């Protein structure tokens, strides 16, 4: 009888824990859906690629100093890849941090931790819910930006065969698949930057730091990766993973940088979220 009661109690605790995480995640998603900043970010990801594609396509002199830049005014696939190169440097870290950099700091700003951390939803559940919501938004805004960029670029620049990085001619249908794969390859580093933004949000308790710092750190990591003595470190930076798609457009194609970037992004994500959870778990929310 005692063993049965113990088993039932543990089962009840597991169900309560799952219910707590689900309740907390639903609460976070409702909050995000009501925020104008989130709506504006998604709307910008959907609409901004259109004028960008028009402006680049209308240039008399294409940006020949960038990969695929020389073909951006005559080929929609090259145009989408040109935008991807810039997005990985600035746009994606910023769009990611809009939610991840504020999702914990906002509770500190409004002083609502005592309210949300109830007995039914503990710290672990809320940390998991907030982190899941931040990652979900990052992936969603990336997918919206990807689809909008590819669609607007192809409609404006056309869908003729693409010249690859090694000079090979890539048929239109294959080029579409490679461009889509190139955009999707940025999901791992985007999640890594989400973890970094979450860490800064938890640590600083300041939304401005959580949102702006990942962009600044991304620039610094790019600077470190471009330094002459940092060749050994460069493949393991999350910013380098944003460039792994170049191997897809070569002949023969190579995926080594993508695999390395995938592993590096996973490590960065695990470390930043692990530190975030440690800081959050030890935080005194009583004001003592």
> Is residue 92 predicted with pLDDT exceeding 70?
yes
> Is residue 194 predicted with pLDDT exceeding 80?
yes
pLDDT in tens, 216-256: 888 888 887 777 666 778 888 899 999 999 999 999 999 99
**pLDDT over 70, % of the chain:** 88
pLDDT in tens, 51-76: 999 998 888 777 776 778 888 888 99
pLDDT in tens, 3-44: 444 444 454 444 444 457 788 888 888 888 888 989 999 999
Given a contact cutoff of 8 angstroms between Cβ atoms, the answer to whether 96 and 190 are in contact is: yes
Given a contact cutoff of 8 angstroms between Cβ atoms, the answer to whether 98 and 38 are in contact is: yes
Burial of 167 (0-12, 13-18, 19+ CB in 10 A): exposed
Burial of 95 (0-12, 13-18, 19+ CB in 10 A): buried
Largest Cα separation within the chain, whole Å, is 83
Burial of 52 (0-12, 13-18, 19+ CB in 10 A): buried
Mean pLDDT over each residue of the chain, to the nearest integer = 86
Cα separation, 257 vs 287, in Å, equals: 47
């Amino acid at each position: 009888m005692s063993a049965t009661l113990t088993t039932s109690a543990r089962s009840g605790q597991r169900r309560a824990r799952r219910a707590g995480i689900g309740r907390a995640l639903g609460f976070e998603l409702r909050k995000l859906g009501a925020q104008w900043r989130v709506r504006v970010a998604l709307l910008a990801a959907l609409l901004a690629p259109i004028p960008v594609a028009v402006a680049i396509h209308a240039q008399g002199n294409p940006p020949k100093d960038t990969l695929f830049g020389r073909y951006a005014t005559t080929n929609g696939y090259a145009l989408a890849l040109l935008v991807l190169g810039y997005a990985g440097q600035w746009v994606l870290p910023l769009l990611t941090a809009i939610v991840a950099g504020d999702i914990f700091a906002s509770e500190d700003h409004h002083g609502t931790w005592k309210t949300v951390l109830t007995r039914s939803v503990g710290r672990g559940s809320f940390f998991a819910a907030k982190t899941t919501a931040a990652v979900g938004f990052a992936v969603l805004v990336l997918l919206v930006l990807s689809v909008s960029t590819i669609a607007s670029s192809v409609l404006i620049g056309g869908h003729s065969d693409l010249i690859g990085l090694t000079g090979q001619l890539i048929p239109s249908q294959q080029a579409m698949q490679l461009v889509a794969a190139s955009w999707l390859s940025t999901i791992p580093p985007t999640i890594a930057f989400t973890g970094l933004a979450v860490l800064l949000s938890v640590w600083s308790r300041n939304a401005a730091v959580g949102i702006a710092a990942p962009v600044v750190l991304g620039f610094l990591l790019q600077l470190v990766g471009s330094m002459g003595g940092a060749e050994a470190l460069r493949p393991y930076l999350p910013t380098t993973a944003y460039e792994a798609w170049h191997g897809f457009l070569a002949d023969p194609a190579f995926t080594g940088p993508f695999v390395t970037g995938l592993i590096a992004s996973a490590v960065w994500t695990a470390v930043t979220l692990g530190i975030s959870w440690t800081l959050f778990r030890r935080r005194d929310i009583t004001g003592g």
